[in-house]
Structure 1
């Protein structure tokens, strides 16, 4: 499994941002390799993160190169004061079984 964590500093959002954001989310969820997503923001809202989980790297690559996603990437400076993306390969995932999880536990 792979994780793409998109961290950003929000700036000014407009209608086009919201439209593209909804398209990008729909593209992710329609991808057969999409496992799930979650997001958070700092208490003051100054920093945010959207984390997407993928079964394989090909699925993540398909998401990254989707036309709506590429359009948003070209215009990011309109909506973000800064960003960083972290791509990680999951080596191990486990828990006590009482917390909802995104994928079956894995051993690595």
Structure 2
């Protein structure tokens, strides 16, 4: 089993403090036991962003969620974002044709119909 946590947000006034905490959050995520990786997307207009983190299990996601740096950033979100939405999902299957590198466990195998 694996979890994904998609953090979807619209940029607001991003300042130096935002970028400092964002870098620290990235380090904290990578240092969390059970962190599998992250994928980031930006819509063509460039304001709405999606950072989807992948976790081995509930314990890994909970550990990251309780990280003090992550909690500090959450307390200040209103000054940086016009809005946000989080989607947490259980990943049952991943697959692909093997042409894209992936950190996800099942994606290295060729597609089978």
TM range (shorter): over 0.9
Cα drift, residue 93 of structure 1: 1.1
- Give, in whole Å, the separation in 1 of the partners of 2:19 and 2:47: 18
- Give, in whole Å, the separation in 2 of the partners of 1:14 and 1:97: 39
State the partner residue of 2:68: 67
Q: Which runs of 5+ in 1 are unaligned?
A: none
Q: Which runs of 5+ in 2 are unaligned?
A: 108-113
Cα drift, residue 54 of structure 1: 0.6
- Give, in whole Å, the separation in 1 of the partners of 2:17 and 2:96: 40
Number of residues paired by the alignment?
106
Render the CA deviation track for 1:37-78: whole Å, top value 9, x for unaligned: 110111111211101011111101111110010011011000
* Residue 105 (str. 1) matches residue 94 (str. 2): no
Please list every run of at least 4 consecutive aligned residues from structure 1 whose deviation after the TM superposition is greater than 3 angstroms: none
State the partner residue of 1:51: 52
Cα drift, residue 103 of structure 1: 2.0
* Matched position secondary structure for 2:104: coil
Cα drift, residue 98 of structure 1: 2.2
Render the CA deviation track for 1:14-56: whole Å, top value 9, x for unaligned: 1111111011000000112010111011111121110101111
TM-score normalized with structure 1 length: 0.93
* Matched position secondary structure for 1:9: strand
Cα drift, residue 13 of structure 1: 0.8
Cα RMSD after superposing both structures: 1.1
* Residue 92 (str. 1) matches residue 101 (str. 2): no
